[in-house]
A and B are shown apart, each in its own frame.
Chain A
């Protein structure tokens, strides 16, 4: 038996995640992913006015409220029989796009970059850039005061980027990125009022009509962001992916090659055509993208702290009864499966389905397309995120052009006494689904399956590891006291735990069955 190490908390992600790995021969032999926080939204939406749903569900997560609010709006549109006006569809695309930009920039620079860049290398900077010299001054002062928090301490590793010029440039971009992601939020608030937690989308459409003024305000920020994404973010990703010490991470961290994309950013009023297409890939057979069949979605709770009767149900029928005494349980996250298989969701899944030219070229340049078997690891996951950020930002300019001031933004529909609905969208972190059942004009049942539930799920009833668990197997860990590569791999998925353990299940009451010890 190998050596067990526990990493808790996994920081620089959203929420509470614990990773346990078994190390043997300097590599991960096995891995377990545990979500360690449970809120339980059950009961909250039961009997509530259906319009409340998006205001409540967007508060599942403060990093991706947009995804939940958007999914919830489409879910209610479906239940109410809304014919969504083009303006509303475009504004939803623009605002969701703005949050993709915010989220992707935040992820690479503020959540991931400190795994690759040595901040202390700034102390050796000898260039003449005034902004970087100012930064050097600040870091020097922190170092003198022996107060380099929150950049130190960190896991020791011999392969941080420590060239003073390059490291200082990257740390400078880390600081710039704070302002860029803030600008993306400003752009979003033009139509949606404010963010995080916003108010501008409602069942049937949006609240703020396009005007010449707000389109201009949006475009000026978008132009600046597009330039920065193109000239800084995408280039930094190429730089990191090209560091020779990081070559193993091109393939290490492959999740097993099953990918799922619901598709997102509707390009027609029925949502049949999407900018990011829908599709399923098995076993890295990337040229064989299959159509998605919603009936093949199920959730397993074999190793989740929920009672057995919650096992194997379609999400629209799901149950959630906590059982902390369950012997085989090790996570509050359930295990969603497609056709009984674990599926990776997120930017890599979406771009392998869409195959935009820029991504194909980069994958080819990095030698990824000639490998046998095909594998997509830690760095391709980051690269997909950056390129997706660029192509969405570019497309947003076209959506702005299609807005028609004066045209409708809302299709007013009454609440039916009985109805079901569903909203499938893409969140920054991957495929997101909301399901609703309305009865007596009130919410009877509301369910979500979110991206990190897919990625960070524990083993299912067949013993299949979740995608993050699977991706960790084989990752090199030369020093068990400093498992830097384990957290590099986990962070490449951009996990969001608050979403993963959302548990909105108003129809079901876990209280009676719950054992108090």
Chain B
């Protein structure tokens, strides 16, 4: 019995969970189950590299429930290289990458957490020993191998590249210092190496475990002819990043009624006050947090009486700061004296005002912030 690891019934159960995760019709469950079964028979090799990362997305992935992380590692994927969990170190670890590249040409999925710095030959992020030698306080030792070198070696033979988290996808916080390090989003690095290589981005700081696994599953199922791969202009799956937080927020009614939290001591658990005045960026953030929630659905940011900071948006952090000030160009209380119309007016004003503000931030300030270090 012990040899038969995953039964047909378990596949169907998993397929149900996967279909639910991706918002697929129940009619597709048998097909998803078959795809999962094929997947297990030939577990896809994964090489997970870390650039200028903080490991927050890896830790977030550990919080996955459908499937649980032990199932991911033991049953579903062949995790060849992941520096935070793998047993081997040093040359034995990097040899795994080299072997995987040789044996699985065109088959492995390259996952990248954190952006890749390009300045100074890539020396701001290195791992593994390079070809040359260097001086270490009078001793001769092997040189360092830059992350950018690894990308040049691994991108051409990868089946696809998955950028995990806001900084790998869009530059994120490390990009604020791009003028020094040359920190670059994964998509751009890949395009420079092989412009036809498929890249998918998973936003979020950190990325939600469902977004990581779901995006990967969507891509894998799509390659098997199941479901569709509907990406937005940032190459994110619309399944997870297609809806505005504000539109699905459990506190939307408070916003429409014009009841806002202004002092954390005056919070009323039953009223569920709107966090707009505390700086909520839900009106400009596309993610499914209100319905998906976090940490086994225990809570989410607004659920803890705190504003959404817009961490899933390409504009995060710099262009959404100050985080605890209301979004500009929206004067809700100044617009209407009556409670009946305030919500309607507020909603209309928000759509126009925030939209304009957001566009300005996205288009106007991006160039300014990326060379912010030179002032």
Interface, chain A (partner B; CB < 8 A): 1, 4, 6-16, 18, 20, 22, 32, 36-44, 48-49, 51-52, 55-56, 59-63, 65, 106, 110-111, 114, 119, 133-134, 136-142, 145, 147, 149-155, 175, 178-179, 181-182, 185-186, 188-200, 202, 205-209, 211, 217, 303, 322, 324, 327-328, 330, 408-410, 412, 459, 483, 487, 498, 509-511, 514, 516-517
CA of A188 to CA of B83 in the docked complex: distance in angstroms?
26
**In this complex, what residue of A is CB-closest to B294?**
A194
CA of A139 to CA of B304 in the docked complex: distance in angstroms?
41
Question: Do B90 and A8 have beta carbons less than 8 Å apart?
Answer: yes
Residue among B117, B139, B140 having the largest count of chain A Cβ atoms under 10 Å: B139
**Given A150-B80, A196-B56, A409-B264, A324 contacting B123 (CB threshold 8 A):** yes
Question: Do B304 and A200 have beta carbons less than 8 Å apart?
Answer: yes
**In this complex, what residue of B is CB-closest to A491?**
B89
Question: Do B125 and A61 have beta carbons less than 8 Å apart?
Answer: no
CA of A189 to CA of B280 in the docked complex: distance in angstroms?
18
**Given A37-B52, A55-B317, A510-B180, A410 contacting B265 (CB threshold 8 A):** yes
Leading 6 A-B pairs by shortest Cβ distance: A62-B56, A193-B304, A194-B294, A137-B2, A199-B306, A40-B177
In the assembled complex, B144 has its CB within 8 A of some CB on chain A: yes
In the assembled complex, B27 has its CB within 8 A of some CB on chain A: no
**Given A7-B90, A43-B176, A409-B264, A194 contacting B144 (CB threshold 8 A):** no
By a CB distance below 8 angstroms, the chain A residues around B311 are 197
CA of A140 to CA of B373 in the docked complex: distance in angstroms?
54
B 133-149 contacts with A by CB, 8 A: 135-137, 139-142, 144
**In this complex, what residue of B is CB-closest to A407?**
B265
- Main SS at interface, chain A: loop
By a CB distance below 8 angstroms, the chain B residues around A114 are 87
Question: Do B78 and A149 have beta carbons less than 8 Å apart?
Answer: yes
Question: Do B304 and A191 have beta carbons less than 8 Å apart?
Answer: yes
Place the interface of chain B in its size category: 35 or more
Question: Do B183 and A39 have beta carbons less than 8 Å apart?
Answer: yes
Question: Do B181 and A39 have beta carbons less than 8 Å apart?
Answer: yes
Q: Per a CB cutoff under 8 Å, which of B43, B135, B180, B324 touches A511?
A: B180
By a CB distance below 8 angstroms, the chain B residues around A186 are 295-296, 298
Question: Do B265 and A6 have beta carbons less than 8 Å apart?
Answer: no
In the assembled complex, B307 has its CB within 8 A of some CB on chain A: yes
**In this complex, what residue of A is CB-closest to B45?**
A149
Question: Do B3 and A207 have beta carbons less than 8 Å apart?
Answer: no
A244 vs chain B, min Cβ distance (A): 23
In the assembled complex, B260 has its CB within 8 A of some CB on chain A: no
By a CB distance below 8 angstroms, the chain A residues around B317 are 44, 52, 55-56, 59
In the assembled complex, B201 has its CB within 8 A of some CB on chain A: no
Question: Do A43 and B373 have beta carbons less than 8 Å apart?
Answer: yes
By a CB distance below 8 angstroms, the chain B residues around A145 are 43
CA of A467 to CA of B109 in the docked complex: distance in angstroms?
38
Question: Do B120 and A324 have beta carbons less than 8 Å apart?
Answer: yes
Q: Per a CB cutoff under 8 Å, which of B70, B85, B302 touches A12?
A: B85
Question: Do B304 and A207 have beta carbons less than 8 Å apart?
Answer: yes
Q: Per a CB cutoff under 8 Å, which of A6, A153, A199, A202 touches B88?
A: A153
B150 vs chain A, min Cβ distance (A): 11
In the assembled complex, B60 has its CB within 8 A of some CB on chain A: yes
Question: Do B86 and A48 have beta carbons less than 8 Å apart?
Answer: no
**Given A150-B73, A178-B70, A191-B304, A65 contacting B56 (CB threshold 8 A):** yes
**Given A48-B322, A55-B317, A178-B68, A12 contacting B89 (CB threshold 8 A):** yes
In the assembled complex, B365 has its CB within 8 A of some CB on chain A: no
Question: Do A197 and B372 have beta carbons less than 8 Å apart?
Answer: no
